[in-house]
Amino acid sequence: MNRFDWLSEYLAQLQDELIVVRRGSARYLPPAHMLEIDAEDWTRAHELAAANGYRWAGLWADRDDESARVLSLLENAGDYLVLLAELDAGNPAIASISAHYPAADRPQRHLRDQHGIALSGEADSRRWVRHRAWPADQHPLTPDFPAGGFPEPSPTPADSDYPFQPIAGNAVYQIPVGPVHAGIIEPGHFRFHAVGEEILKLEQRLGYVHKGVEKIAVGRDAVGLARLAGRLSGDTTVAHAWAACQALERATGTRPPRRAQQLRGLLCERERVANHLGDIGAICNDVGFAFPQYQCSRLRELWQRHSDKLFGHRLMMDCVVPGGVAVDLDDTGITTLRHDHACIRDEIDILFDVIEDHPSLEDRLLTTGRLSAASARELGCTGHVGKASGQAFDLRAANPYAPYASHPITTRVLDDGDVMARVQIRMREIHDSLDWMDALIDHLAGDGLRASLNEPGEARIGIGFVEGWRGEIVSYVRLDAAGRVARFFARDPSWHHWPALERIVMNNIVPDFPVCNKSVNASYSGHDL
């Protein structure tokens, strides 16, 4: 057996739970397997994983005063595998995996910029995060870097010489858009290369709203971490807080009450409905069809007002807490929800029929902004972006967690991969969420809202997975012996969706970029930790 046969066998047999490890060491990190490998095997391990059909789902580092580790998350048929490599803490370095998983390019640059981990082998040498906010030899996630940074003698220099990669040709011209936009959206730079109106290439420059989340999480207690996670991306406060709480609960061996798990699912589906409504209206508005925008905005506003009334916040912020939830539903609240669901279902039945059968809308959305199934799979896209391009993965069904394990939910998939398909996935998911919530409230348990987290007693790690409205959300937590956060990393689906947008707009016309962009609606804030 050669030096990699053990890994190939491991990957092939993992799906059947026949774990055979002849090199490295494996252990279970619920609900993932963790396999420690040599740093020199890093690229080859990912090559084998790709050959065995594993989807790449995230990359992060975990450094302290004494060690440096890099972790890569892979998924296949709902099962998760974490590859972990120990690096030289004094001179950490790792080889690139972007040849096998192209979406890993930006997370690798994040490792280099934030942790000072050197990259080799086809790695992009350009800085990615926060540009000129600190010198190239300073790395904010190293242990000796203060959360507030070091005093700067002068304002941060303008990032005016980023080396975008041009396309040569007499007829090719560039269109710079951003980073400051006309609306109230967050900053991001888009550099188009076009001939006439046809887009040949889009290159993004993000990282302008880097917040230092990974650094300021360190030292927090569990409640403080959940509050921070709920503010990573304001439109996904429930799902991110839930994923962080899952990681905390798994690290401490804490099981939330059944009613709390059910209410978490209810809150998350309400978040899904609100965001899908907003996006459907905005997509229609981007092509000049204002009527659905008015109606979706009205319905979303009513929906969020009811969330405020029932759960204390329009976005349901801080409703998910470690060990459970901070809110409950009485009989009056349940009656209100049933009426809410019935009213919105009646309205969207008519509205969605108009959207799906309006010739001028079809003319703008059908065949526009196509993402092939191969590209969606290669980039690891989940949520509405992946499902519209033939990727059936949905955590709620593929690796169901409470309450979805006992209350299954339908997974919708389309193959067209265009803007219309992404609209249709959203519409179908709204219907499915309404049906699911109605079924859930018929079976609400009465066993309490919150369990106290167990004391870890030693350093522990945990990982959380939640199907947010954009797709798969991942949270990694390492706790010290006192239960304080020693490391936190959150991976929003936008890490995968932003690269997908660059492919979606290719060969489309420049005026169609806004609707292509809105059909994805990746998060700047969720990406720029």
pLDDT of residue 8: 60
**Residue 293 reports pLDDT greater than 70:** yes
The single residue listed with the structure tokens 């997370």 is 107
Are β-strands 173-177 and 68-76 bridged in parallel, bridged antiparallel, or unpaired? unpaired
The 10s digit of each residue's pLDDT in 367-408 is 999 999 999 999 999 999 999 999 999 999 999 999 999 999
pLDDT, tens digit, for every residue of 110-123? 999 999 999 998 77
| Lowest-pLDDT range of 93-97, 106-110, 159-163, 326-330 | 159-163
User: Left (φ > 0), alpha (ψ -120 to 50) or beta: where does 78 sit?
Assistant: left
What's the Cα-to-Cα distance from 499 to each of 127, 313, 374, rounded to whole Å?
16, 33, 14
Q: For residue 5, is pLDDT > 70?
A: no
Query: β-strand 32-37 against 25-29: which pairing, if any?
Result: antiparallel
Do residues 274 and 303 lie in contact, with contact meaning Cβ atoms separated by under 8 Å?
A: yes
What pLDDT score does 463 carry? 96
Q: What is this structure's pTM?
A: 0.94
How many angstroms separate the Cα of 27 from the Cα of each of 19, 21, 444? Answer: 10, 10, 35
Residue 121 has a pLDDT of 87
CA gyration radius, the chain: 23
Domains and CATH numbers, the chain: 5-120 (3.30.460.80), 173-205 (no CATH), 213-444+463-522 (1.10.645.10)
Residue of higher predicted confidence among 9 and 91: 91
pLDDT of residue 17: 41
Q: Average the pLDDT over 77-99 and give the result.
A: 93
Task: Report which secondary-structure segment, H or E, holds 5.
Answer: helix 5-14
Q: What does the mean pLDDT of the chain come to?
A: 91
- pLDDT tens, 462-512? 999 999 999 999 999 999 999 999 999 999 999 999 999 999 999 999 999
C-alpha–C-alpha distance, residues 218 and 204, integer Å = 30
Structural contact between residues 81 and 49, judged by C-beta atoms closer than 8 angstroms: yes
What was the pLDDT predicted at 19? 40
The DSSP secondary structure of 253-286, one letter per residue, reads T----HHHHHHHHHHHHHHHHHHHHHHHHHHHHH
DSSP reduced 3-state for 319 = coil
Kindly report the CA angle at 263 between 260 and 268, in degrees rounded to 5?
125
Q: What angle do CA 342, 344, 346 make, to 5 degrees?
A: 70
> How does residue 11 score in pLDDT terms, banded at 50, 70 and 90?
low
Q: Are 365 and 418 in contact (CB under 8 A)?
A: yes
Q: Which amino acid is at 448?
A: G
Q: d(Cα 372, Cα 385) in Å, to the nearest integer?
A: 11
Cβ-based neighbours of 302, under 8 Å, separated by 6 or more: 344
pLDDT for residue 150? 80
